[in-house]
Structure 1
Amino acid sequence: MSYTDTSMDALRQSGDELADATVAALFERGEMGSFNTLMRFFSTAGAPVPEGLPDVAREYLRATSAPPAWVDWEEMERARLFFIDNNVHIATALSFASMPACYLVPHVAKLLSTTHGLDYPSTRMAATGQFTVYLMRPDAFEAGSRFLPAAQKVRLLHASIRHHLRREGRWDVEASGVPICQEDMIGGQMFFSMLVLDSLHRLGIHMSHEGAEAYYYAWRVVGAMLGVDQDAVPENLDDARRFLDRYMIRHMGPSPEGVQLTRQLIELYEDVVPGTLLDPVVPALVRYLVGDTCADWLDVPGSPAWDTAVKAVPHLLGVLETIEDRSPLGAWALDRLGHLTTMFELSSLTRGRVMHYAVPEHLRKEYGVPDAPSRTRRWTPPAATLAP
C-alpha cells in the first residue's frame, strides 16, 4: 500500500460517521447528560442495556457490539501470548515512547491540551494501560468482557471531542483538518503498536516476526472497533512503517503544548519511582527511546551520566531473558516480578485503586494454545522509508 501527501490530506477531512452522528443526535436532543449517567453502569459486554437509554444510543451500542467479521482468532491468541510474555516491556514502551510520540505532533498535543485530557496524566496513563489489558484478556470479545464497552465508550469520547471543538470554534478545521481525523486515528494506532515494537527492539527484547505481526494485528482490530477506515489502515508491518514514517515527517515538531505535556508525564513517573535518587532514570529512558532530536523538541532534561547508564538496559534485559529461557524457576520468578511491577505502577497511577492488569499464565493451557515461540528468531523492524 502506498501513501502520498494527497491521500493523507484526504484522511484529514473525515472523522467517524457513525459515532459522530450518534453524538450529534444526543446533543441536539439534550440527552447527553442522561446518556452519560446511564453509561456508567454499562461496563461489561452482554449486560442488559440500561433502561431509559436514548434510542440513537441504543442503536449505536447494537451496531458496535461485535468485533469485525474478518478477525482471525488464532492471530489474536498469538497476540495475547506476546503480551503475556512482554507485558512489563510493553507498559514501558507505552509510557516512555508512545505517549511522548503523541506530544511530538503539535496539533495532537494542542488537542490534548485544549480538552484538558492530561490535566490529570495519571488517569490517562492508567486508562491506556487498562484498555490494553482488557484487549489482551481471553474473554475480550465475549459476554462479560470489559473491552467491548470500553471501545464503544472511547469511540464516542472521540466523537464528543470532535463535536465540542467544532461547535465551540476552538479548532481550525481549515488548517488542521477534522479533530481526531482518520489520519490521526491511524497515527495513534501506529504509536500504540508499531512504536511499541520499535521500542521493544531498542530495549533488546527478543521477538519473533510472528509475535510482532500478531501484536500489530491486534491493534488493527482495535482500530476497526474505534472507527478507523479499514480501506486506509496499513495491513502489515511494512505498510505500517511507510505510513508512520510519512505521518511523522508530515507533522512532527516542537510545540509549547508538547513540552508541557511531556513535563507532566515525567513528573508523574518521577513521583511513581520511590525516593528521588532514581528520578533521572525517567527522562533518560524517554530520551533513549525517542532519540535526542525528539527529546530536545520535548525539552526532556538531559544528564550525561544517566543518559549513558540507561544504554545498559538492553544488556541487562538480555541477561534476564537468558535466565528466563534456561530456567523454569527463573522464568516463574521473573513473571511474578513483572506482574508485581505492573501492579505497583498501576496502583500508583490510580492512587491505590486495584486494577487487574496481568493475564494469568494458566490461560495458555486452558485455551489449548502452545507456549510462546522460541526467542532464537529475532524480529527486526522494517527499514525506514523516505518521503519522495
Structure 2
Amino acid sequence: MTYTEASMDALRQAGDEFADATVAALFERGEVGAFNALMRYVSTAGAPLPDGLPDVAREYLEATRVPPAWVDWSEMEKARLFFTDNNVHISTALSFASMPACYLVPHVAKLLSTTHGMKYPSKRMAETGQFTVYLMRPDAFEAGSRFIPAAQKVRLLHASIRHHLKSENRWDAEAHGRPICQEDMIGGQMFFSLLVLDSLHRLGIHMSTEGAEAYYYAWRVVGAMLGVDQATVPRTLDEARRFLDLYMVRHMGPSVEGTHLTRQLIDLYEEVVPGALFDPIVSALIRYLIGDTCADWLHVPRTPWDTLVKAAPHLLGVLETIEDRSPLGAWALDRLGHLTTVFELSSLTRGRVMHYAIPDTLKKDYGISSAVSHTHRWTPPAATIS
C-alpha cells in the first residue's frame, strides 16, 4: 500500500465506530458503573458473561470474543517462540525504545499526559507489559486465556478516552485529528512491533527473517482486535517501514509533555534497577536506542554510561553464541529471560492485576493540563525518507 500525506490525513479523522458506539450508549444510559463492576469478574476467555451486564456491552463482547478469521496459527506459534527466545530483549526494547518513541509525538504525549494518573506512572508500563505477556502465552486465544478479555477492554478504554476528550472539549480535533485515531493506532502498532525489531537489531540480537516477520504478524492480529482498520494497516515489514518513516516525519518533535513523561519513565526504572550505581544505565539505554537527537528532545540526561552501553551488542553477541551452540545454555538463558520479565512486571504492577476499566471521567489530577534459525539473520528494511 502507498502512504501519502493525504491518506495519512484521512486516517487522522477516523476512530473505531463499533467501540465508539458501544461506549456512547453505555454513557448515554448511565451504565458505565455497572459495566466496570461486572467486567472485573470477566478476566478469562470463554467465561460466562455475568447477569446484569448491559445489553450493548453484551453485544460488543459477543462480537469481539474471537480473533479475526484470517489468522494464520502457524505464524502465531512462530511469534510465540520468537518471544520466548527473546523475551528479556523485547521487554528492554518496549521499555527503553517503544515508550520513549510515543513521547516523541507531541500530540500523543499530550494525550497520555491528559489521561493517565501521575501518582502511579508505572501503570502505563504495567499495562503494556501484562498485555504483551498475555499475548505470547501458548493459550492466548483459547478458553481460559486472559488476552482476549484484555484486548476487548483496552479497545473500549480507547473509545472512552475519545468520548471524554470530545464531550469535555479537552482536545483540539482541528489541530490534532481525533484522539487515538487510526493513524495513531497504526503508529502505536509500529512502535510495539517494527521499532522493537529495530531495537533488537541495534542490540545485536540474532534474529531470523522468519522470526521477525512472525512477531510483526502477531501485532497485526493485535491491531485488528483493537479496532485498527485492516484495509489501511501495513501488511509487510517493508510497508511498515514506509508508514513509520512518514508518520514520524509528520509528527515527531520536542514537547513539554514528552519531556515530563520521559522523566517519569527514567525515575520509574531507576527504582527497579538495584543500587544507585547502575541508575544511569536507564538513560544511557534510552539514548542508545532512540538516538541523540530524539534523546535531546526528551531531555534524556547524558551519563558516563553512554559510551559503555555501546558495548551491549558485543556482550549480548557472546550470550547469543552460547545460546546457539548449547541446548543447555539456550535453556538457561531463556529461563533467565523469563524470570527477568516476571520480576520486571511484578515490580511495575506491585503485584496487582491491571483491569483496563472504562473511566467515568478524566479526573483533574490526571495529566498536566525456538523454531527460529539464526543462520540467515533479519536485516531491518531501509529507511524510505532521507
In structure 2, the partner of 1:333 is 332
1:271-318: CA deviation from partner (whole Å, max 9, x where unpaired):
001110000000000000000000000000002x31000000000000
User: 2 CA distance for matches of 1:224 and 1:276?
Assistant: 42
Task: Please give the residue correspondences for 1:1-388 in structure 2 after superposition, counting only pairs within 5 Å.
Answer: 1-117=1-117, 119-303=119-303, 305-353=304-352, 371-386=370-385
SS at match of 2:228: coil
Q: Cα RMSD over matched residues?
A: 1.2
User: Residue type matched to 1:385 in 2?
Assistant: T
User: 2 CA distance for matches of 1:242 and 1:143?
Assistant: 37
User: 2 CA distance for matches of 1:338 and 1:219?
Assistant: 21
SS at match of 1:324: helix
User: 2 CA distance for matches of 1:336 and 1:50?
Assistant: 38
User: 2 CA distance for matches of 1:350 and 1:7?
Assistant: 39
Check the 8 A contact 1:44/1:148 in 2, yes or no. yes
Residue 332 of structure 1: CA displacement?
A: 2.1
1:309-358: CA deviation from partner (whole Å, max 9, x where unpaired):
00000000000011111122222221222122112211211224599xxx
Q: Which runs of 5+ in 2 are unaligned?
A: 355-369
SS at match of 2:139: coil
Q: Structure with the greater relative contact order (CA < 8 A, sep ≥ 6): 1 or 2?
A: 2
Check the 8 A contact 2:78/2:372 in 1, yes or no. no
User: 2 CA distance for matches of 1:106 and 1:284?
Assistant: 22
Check the 8 A contact 2:162/2:178 in 1, yes or no. yes
SS at match of 2:14: coil
Check the 8 A contact 2:207/2:374 in 1, yes or no. yes
* Structure 2 CA distance for partners of 1:127 and 1:374, relative to 1, 3 Å: same
Residue 119 of structure 1: CA displacement?
A: 4.3
> Sequence identity of aligned pairs in percent?
83
User: Residue type matched to 2:200 in 1?
Assistant: L
1:201-248: CA deviation from partner (whole Å, max 9, x where unpaired):
000001111100000000000000000000100000000000000000
Aligned residue-pair number:
371
User: Residue type matched to 2:89 in 1?
Assistant: H
SS at match of 2:301: coil
User: Residue type matched to 1:322 in 2?
Assistant: T
Check the 8 A contact 1:67/1:141 in 2, yes or no. yes
SS at match of 2:206: coil
In structure 1, the partner of 2:360 is none
User: Residue type matched to 2:186 in 1?
Assistant: I
SS at match of 1:153: helix
Between 24-33 and 112-121, the greater mean CA deviation after superposition? 112-121
User: 2 CA distance for matches of 1:117 and 1:145?
Assistant: 28
Check the 8 A contact 2:82/2:372 in 1, yes or no. no
User: 1 CA distance for matches of 2:243 and 2:158?
Assistant: 22
User: 1 CA distance for matches of 2:118 and 2:323?
Assistant: 37
Check the 8 A contact 1:118/1:261 in 2, yes or no. no
* Structure 2 CA distance for partners of 1:344 and 1:12, relative to 1, 3 Å: same
User: Residue type matched to 1:44 in 2?
Assistant: T
* Structure 2 CA distance for partners of 1:117 and 1:102, relative to 1, 3 Å: farther
SS at match of 1:277: helix
